[in-house]
């Protein structure tokens, strides 16, 4: 833990100006990532010297190797898309849908996932929304799929409740009917060990600005060998071709996940992401998950009776997100605003207080949260 605390002091000193417990929304930048972005700006101010050096564009090879190490996948299975929803929607739109096909999605998933699915209805695809009572039951997903199911799309970790599904179980359901497993991992990658290749996931997409500690503008896109062998993206551009500088017909798609690129990438977001992933690798996924779980345990142990925890506590379904409530949405929202005034930063989402610490947070951050909650309760 000493190395973790030393890294927190060195990399996250600006974040220490508050008790920032809001990583399910957006992350503060580590120092190394912020410095890399400043370097990018300086390079763009003097862009001529990049051309003199023969490196005007950012080379993603280093980032793909580091992201591959984080996910336990070959670098060639990784590409980059503008956002999580863009990646999910682009893949789903590229499936060769036929009359009578269907797609299965949890009814209460993140709106980007559900919207990407519902958009397919105009192409005659039946969108089966699985009912959810509290937390997603994969048995209901299993009951919803059949031989005409082409894909199941779901979040690894629910954006409100923090409920985590078992990716292996999801994949087994999909393989039974030869459907694609399509996973939104923006709320898991960076805070939990995530291994899509080991689980057998077909497509996994995760934006960079939450638990991965980057900035908006890019998302990791993982494609399995099956996807690379079978799937043609819904759009084409020079970056998605085997020879990006040439034009041929029929189109010669890139053999790896860069086929899901279209045009120029968001270099500053990629530059920041590379340095942030480098930091996450130094820490290790298990160390990060343990640090978050320890903070959560402290928070739950000190939680006053005025707040109820709604997130799962069993290890198999637990994540870095805690959903809390006073039982009254108006009081919940007022409490979040009081905490914000005290520089304790959390979120209010769909009538739930959402607390999301990361590896750099301290027991003192949790104590500040608990103290502010008690003070607010006393005033109410």
| 139-186 pLDDT tens trace | 999 999 999 999 999 999 999 999 999 999 999 999 999 999 999 999
Rounded mean pLDDT of 18-22?
A: 96
pLDDT band at 1 (very low <50, low <70, confident <90, very high): low
Q: Following DSSP, what letter does each residue of 277-306 receive, concatenated? A: HHHHHHH-HHHHHHHHHHHHHHHHHH--TT
CA distance 251 to 233: 12
Query: What pLDDT score does 380 carry?
Result: 41
Rounded mean pLDDT of 108-127?
A: 97
Query: What pLDDT score does 3 carry?
Result: 83
Distances (CA, A) of 100 to 97, 127, 144, 147, 340: 9, 11, 14, 10, 50
CA 42 to mean position of chain CA atoms: 29
Q: What is the pTM of this model?
A: 0.95
CA distance 196 to 321: 21
Query: What pLDDT score does 48 carry?
Result: 85
Mean model confidence pLDDT for the chain: 95
| Percent of all residues in the chain with a pLDDT value above 90, rounded to a whole number | 89
| 316-363 pLDDT tens trace | 999 999 999 999 999 999 999 999 999 999 999 999 999 999 999 999
pLDDT at 27 over 60: yes
Q: Following DSSP, what letter does each residue of 73-113 receive, concatenated? A: S-GGGEEEES-HHHHHHHHHHHS---TT-EEEEETTS-HHH
Phi, psi (rounded to 5 degrees) for 232? -110, 125
Length of the chain: 380
pLDDT at 378 over 60: no
Domains belonging to the chain, first-starting first, are 2-21+284-379 (3.90.1150.10), 35-280 (3.40.640.10)
CA distance 110 to 54: 42
CA distance 223 to 255: 11
The CA-based angle 337-331-348, given to 5 degrees, is 50
| 56-104 pLDDT tens trace | 788 999 999 999 999 999 999 999 999 999 999 999 999 999 999 999 9
Query: What pLDDT score does 379 carry?
Result: 46
């Amino acid at each position: 833990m000493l190395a973790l605390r030393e890294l927190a002091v060195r990399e996250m000193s600006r974040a220490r100006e508050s008790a920032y417990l809001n990583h399910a929304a957006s992350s503060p930048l580590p120092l190394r990532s912020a410095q890399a972005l400043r370097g990018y700006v300086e390079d763009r101010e003097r862009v001529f010297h990049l051309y003199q050096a023969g490196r005007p564009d950012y080379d993603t090879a280093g980032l793909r190797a580091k992201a591959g190490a984080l996910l336990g996948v070959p670098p060639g299975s990784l590409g980059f898309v503008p956002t999580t929803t863009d990646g999910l929607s682009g893949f789903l739109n590229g499936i060769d849908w036929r009359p009578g096909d269907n797609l299965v999605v949890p009814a209460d998933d993140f709106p980007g996932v559900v919207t990407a699915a519902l958009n397919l209805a105009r192409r005659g695809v039946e969108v089966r929304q699985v009912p959810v009572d509290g937390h997603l039951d994969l048995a209901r997903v299993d009951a919803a799929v059949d031989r005409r199911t082409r894909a199941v799309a779901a979040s690894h970790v629910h954006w409100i409740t923090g409920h985590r599904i078992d990716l292996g179980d999801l994949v087994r359901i999909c393989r039974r009917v030869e459907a694609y497993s399509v996973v939104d991992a923006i709320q898991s990658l960076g805070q939990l060990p995530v291994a899509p290749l080991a689980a057998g996931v077909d497509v996994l997409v995760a934006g960079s600005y939450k638990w991965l500690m980057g900035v908006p503008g890019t998302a990791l896109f993982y494609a399995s060998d099956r996807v690379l062998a079978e799937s043609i993206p819904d759009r084409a551009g020079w970056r998605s071709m085997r020879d990006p500088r040439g034009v041929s017909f029929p189109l010669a798609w890139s053999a790896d996940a860069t086929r899901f690129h279209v045009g120029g990438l968001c270099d500053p977001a990629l530059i920041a992401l590379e340095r942030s992933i480098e930091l996450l690798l130094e820490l290790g996924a298990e160390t990060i998950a343990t640090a978050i779980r320890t903070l959560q345990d402290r928070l739950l142990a000190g939680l006053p009776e005025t707040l109820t925890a709604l997130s799962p506590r069993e290890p198999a379904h637990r994540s870095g997100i805690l959903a809390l409530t006073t039982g009254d949405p108006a009081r919940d929202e007022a409490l979040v605003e009081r905490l914000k005034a005290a520089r304790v930063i959390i979120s209010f989402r769909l009538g739930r207080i959402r607390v999301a610490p990361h590896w750099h947070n301290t027991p003192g951050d949790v104590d500040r949260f608990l103290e502010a909650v008690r003070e607010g309760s006393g005033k109410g």
